Structure 1
Amino acid sequence: SLEDSARLAARIESLVMEEIGEDELDSLLTNVGVTFVDFTTIKFESNYIQLIVDLEKPRPHGFIERWITPLVSLRFSREGTRERDTLTVINAIRARLQTVPGIQRLSILRTQGGPAGSDVEIGILGEDIEVLRGHGDRLVRFLRQLPGVYDVRQDLEPGKLEYHYTLNERGRQLGLTQRLLAEAVRTGFQGRTVVHVTREDHRVPVRLIYPRQVRSEGAALETLQIVLPTGKVVYLGDVAEITMSRGANVVKRRDMQRMATVTAEVDPAVVTAIEVSDRVQREFGALFDDMPGYGMVFLGEKRKAGHSIQDMLRAMVIALAVIFFILAALFKSLLDPLVVMVAIPFGIIGVIFGHWALGFHLQFLSLVGFLALAGIVVNDSLILVDFAKRLRDQGWDRLEAMVEAGRVRTRPILLTSITTFLGVSPLIFFSTGQAAFLAPMAVSLGFGLLFATGLILIGIPCFYMLADDLRRMVTARLAPREQ
């Protein structure tokens, strides 16, 4: 009942406040009987309990947060008071609430941007709900034993108690049908409008229905009176077989097949969603080969994002090929474009360092940022090499031309890199809420560009000299053959 849920909510609320503490808790809102899934979806049920916890800002940790962030933001007051990170707090609350009696299902989510949905979402297709529920329970048990996997649940969990009535042989002999039984039950428990009366210029419907006390008792179903075509009255329990079971909370379909969905969240510090999905595929992939009409599919936007990494790698190869052919047409050489494109691997060092320094994991958006970085670092090295080649066309020595190119073009290259880094720095250091998921892309772009710029100014002249030596050596060897 709603009263029982309110008492349980008070117990949960006190445990959460004991675990978090005043230095970490900013606000706590408890909803009983209703849960807000998002801004457009609201669910009502007497056994729903939802706690919305807002934590204080974390205390700065590390060199970047302590010194770089205040310097860039011009805010030198350290407002954060929370020592633990969000994931640590969530794990502590989960461990505290798992032993509370009365909680049937526990799910702890945190606000985040990026791909929607659970980290792991697996669908089992088939026709028989009991078979689907059995395979779903087996998959749930398997996921719960994996380290770093939590909040495992399936949507075919048993629902409310239901009464099923089926016409028996005696009922058929009396001339009854399943439809007549359904109409009688519907009239008794849901009511039927039999007449309308007028009251103060308003038509008021009069509905015939059993009293609330009768409708709230399961035994009243057996004593429900059924009127026979002859006018006689019999009880429902005499003309129908009545059974009681639990129904499904929800029934989903995919491609015209019933589907049970199993979802789970993962701790990225322990395991990734792709690794969990791969283990499920190895464990259950061959299970449905001998079961015609049944199968398993992997769902969820995050799974699609993982698959998109392979597509992004193919796109990167195509982009590098296009850059090479454009530079080859510009320089009318196949060697000079390689010298310019040598700057691209320089950015990988900055990408890895930036993710390590700020505590990010390499992910899909990191690859997107690196793809954008490739075009920028090529532009910096192109400025340097193109200027040196122009000087050589004017008769300069190659060493003097490269030194002069470095002296003249260093300032434009540095200004381009620094202004680009400052442009993405808000996403790197101050991204919060829905914009936080873009931070890895900005880290790849910003830190990769800074490291690549320094290495371009030092390394590109060396590679240019080596490429020129290689060109001279090949030309010298081919010249005698042509003679």
Structure 2
Amino acid sequence: EVGMAITASTLTTIVVFLPVVFMGGITAEIFKELALTVTFSLLASLLVAITLIPVMSSRMLELEKEKKDVFFDRIKNLYKRSLRWVLDHRGPVLAISIILLAASLALIPFIGAEFIPDMDQGMFYINIQLPLGTSLEETSRITARVEDIVLTIPEVEAIMASVGSSSELLSLGTSSSDISSVIVLLKDLNERDRSTWEVMEELRQKLRIPGAEISLQASDLVAIAGSPISIKVLGDNLEFLEEQALIIREELAQIEGIREIDDNISEGRPELQLKINRELAAGFGLRPAMIASTVRSAISGDVVTRYEVDGEEIDVRLRLDKEKLSSPEQLKNLYLPSPTGAMVPLERVAEFHLSTGAREILRENQVRYVNVTADLYNRNLSEVMPEIQARLQERLDLPPGYQLEYGGEFQEIIDAFTDLYYVLLLAVVLVYMVMAAQFESFLQPFIVIFSVPMAAIGVLFALFISGHNLSIVTLMGMIMLAGIVVNNAIVMVDYINILRSRGSTVREALEEAGPVRLRPILMTSLTTILGLVPLALGRGEGGELTAPMGIVVIAGLIVATFLTLYLIPVIYSFFAGAGKKAEV
């Protein structure tokens, strides 16, 4: 009676994970191991269930006189009466279910969206940028002042400062005398009352030091997706791109909840540009490459030999004394040896221009672009992005050849959600194929499949009440749910078919199958729900990542269990053509 049913139930859970294994991108990297683990665990459990369990039962279980369970008998009798009432009022029951589904779908605009739930890892970075050319001593003094302010926060456990280089997470390890970074470690979650983001927000208000540009960023898994807000303007003219970047910064600064606005072009570095007069240089026998090599050797020096100490080689660099090249005027008097033997001053063959150059010039598909980034505080992307897009559509007027793109976490959300929606659709198709083979019917699997969209009632209401956002974690929970919610329905429908094959009418089979399968349905649902409770509670560091998945599966399974016990018999009666009092 149950061999094929449990096989089909296990296979439906396994097949929903198959598309995940073959996905690409960040989502696959996060969930691929989960999919493989669940798949092989379920295959092993199926093998044990159909081989070892029957053998052990025949050896270890003894037949005893059935004991009466007064509590469960009351539940069973109550279910029998309610099932008869539901079967007598099929139309209203189905209509109410559809109304609840529509109401839950109406909650989607009120549920936020994010790539991955924020995790409070108790660590963040402070990046300090001082005016270009600031001495290392001054940078160290400002950094020490920042450290003193940070240590006044009671939640801080330890700090580590690096003067002359920025945090690798923030700026890929840039080195300069005018930058520094501080890594802040907080106490464990159970030893503090505030989250990492609340502590960071307090420090944003306190770390307002004149002349210093200070930014904060939490250490979070979301960093793999880039900044929450990342806006690109692509085109050829750097000056025009810089103007657009300033406009975007102005608009972002007016939006509530946006923090740490930055771009790659606004504050360039001062530089001294040399424009070589090729005709004059050629008259002295000098080529541009020779001039550039001489200037570079004078400023940066050349490694002329290596000095070995205790097996370690040390470069010996030959260069001009810094005091002889401390100003542009001194550089102009740098003598260039020409092939003719004459010593030519640099200013004779080159013009000097003091200008500001871009910090970096980025290209995408050989097209220049500027990138403006920002973080969020107490707001999610689904709320902020429509406001950003509306503002920029109104302010920016890009000519032909220029393009606006949204990237970062926003683009990752779009890509990941699109992939997971297709995975969910494919999972439902695979589940249908397994059930079609089990029931040997193309029609009956639709009875069970009906429980999949209906489970969204519990999912969306749970997300709305708990305050969690839609993310790749919650979507993965929904994909799991597509394989889990059909299990009880398969057992129910399979037993209904067995009763009908024994001569029972549709109505008799429905009224008998429900109470008989009530105990195993409740047992399987409760074991899954109770097993996911620790996951849904999200206790401990990193628990924020798994809690939404647990909540989604638990809420969906509760609703799906109710659907299996009441709505599946109603749908079956419609598909079987059974009337209110029909006998077939």
TM-score band by shorter chain is 0.7 to 0.9
Partner of 1:263: 373
Q: 1:16 to 1:191 in 2, by over 3 A?
A: closer
| 1:427 partner letter | L
Q: Is the 8 A contact 2:533 2:550 kept in 1?
A: yes
Question: Among 123, 144, 165, which residue is 2:253 paired with?
Answer: 144
Partner of 1:133: 242
Partner of 2:127: none
Find out whether 1:233 has 2:233 as its counterpart. Answer: no
Find out whether 1:3 has 2:132 as its counterpart. Answer: no
Partner of 2:218: 109
Partner of 1:343: 451
Question: Among 138, 158, 170, which residue is 1:27 paired with?
Answer: 158
Deviation at 1:262, TM superposition (A): 1.9
State how far apart, in whole Å, the 2-side matches of 1:253 and 1:164 are.
Answer: 23
Partner of 1:303: 411
Partner of 1:81: 192
State how far apart, in whole Å, the 1-side matches of 2:340 and 2:442 are.
Answer: 99
Partner of 1:45: 176
1:286-435 equivalences under 5 Å are: 287-288=398-399, 290=400, 292=401, 294-300=402-408, 302-324=410-432, 326-328=434-436, 330-331=438-439, 336-430=444-538
State how far apart, in whole Å, the 2-side matches of 1:457 and 1:298 are.
Answer: 47
State how far apart, in whole Å, the 2-side matches of 1:378 and 1:454 are.
Answer: 12
Q: Secondary structure of the residue that 2:512 maps to in structure 1?
A: helix
Q: 1:357 to 1:37 in 2, by over 3 A?
A: farther
Q: Is the 8 A contact 1:392 1:398 kept in 2?
A: yes
Percent sequence identity is 30
Question: Among 133, 140, 149, which residue is 1:15 paired with?
Answer: 149
Q: 1:243 to 1:310 in 2, by over 3 A?
A: same
Gaps spanning 5+ residues in structure 2: where? Answer: 1-134
Deviation at 1:275, TM superposition (A): 3.3
Deviation at 1:361, TM superposition (A): 0.9
Q: Secondary structure of the residue that 1:361 maps to in structure 2?
A: coil
State how far apart, in whole Å, the 1-side matches of 2:159 and 2:431 are.
Answer: 53
Q: 1:299 to 1:195 in 2, by over 3 A?
A: closer
Question: Among 328, 333, 352, which residue is 1:223 paired with?
Answer: 333
State how far apart, in whole Å, the 2-side matches of 1:25 and 1:418 are.
Answer: 42
Q: 1:194 to 1:416 in 2, by over 3 A?
A: closer
Q: Secondary structure of the residue that 1:102 maps to in structure 2?
A: coil
Corresponding residue pairs, total: 446
Greater mean alpha carbon deviation, residues 279-288 or residues 240-249:
279-288
Find out whether 1:54 has 2:185 as its counterpart. Answer: yes
Q: Is the 8 A contact 1:112 1:437 kept in 2?
A: no
Partner of 2:562: 454
State how far apart, in whole Å, the 2-side matches of 1:148 and 1:87 are.
Answer: 12
Q: Is the 8 A contact 2:150 2:156 kept in 1?
A: no
Greater mean alpha carbon deviation, residues 320-329 or residues 347-356:
320-329
Greater mean alpha carbon deviation, residues 391-400 or residues 3-12:
391-400
Q: Secondary structure of the residue that 2:192 maps to in structure 1?
A: coil
After superposition, give the CA deviation of every residue in 1:305-360 in whole Å (9 maximum; x if it has no partner).
Answer: 32332343344344434544554554455654333233223422332343345431
Q: 1:188 to 1:39 in 2, by over 3 A?
A: closer
Larger relative contact order (Cα-Cα within 8 Å, sequence gap ≥ 6): 2
Q: Secondary structure of the residue that 1:150 maps to in structure 2?
A: strand
Q: Is the 8 A contact 1:147 1:271 kept in 2?
A: no
State how far apart, in whole Å, the 1-side matches of 2:266 and 2:372 are.
Answer: 10
Q: 1:256 to 1:215 in 2, by over 3 A?
A: same
State how far apart, in whole Å, the 1-side matches of 2:492 and 2:288 are.
Answer: 86
Find out whether 1:122 has 2:256 as its counterpart. Answer: no
Q: Is the 8 A contact 1:152 1:264 kept in 2?
A: yes
State how far apart, in whole Å, the 1-side matches of 2:325 and 2:475 are.
Answer: 61
| 1:163 partner letter | L
After superposition, give the CA deviation of every residue in 1:370-413 in whole Å (9 maximum; x if it has no partner).
Answer: 12202211111121122122112212344443343223322222
State how far apart, in whole Å, the 1-side matches of 2:315 and 2:221 are.
Answer: 50
Partner of 1:440: 548
Deviation at 1:57, TM superposition (A): 4.4
State how far apart, in whole Å, the 2-side matches of 1:278 and 1:197 are.
Answer: 60
Q: Is the 8 A contact 2:435 2:445 kept in 1?
A: yes
Q: Is the 8 A contact 2:307 2:314 kept in 1?
A: yes
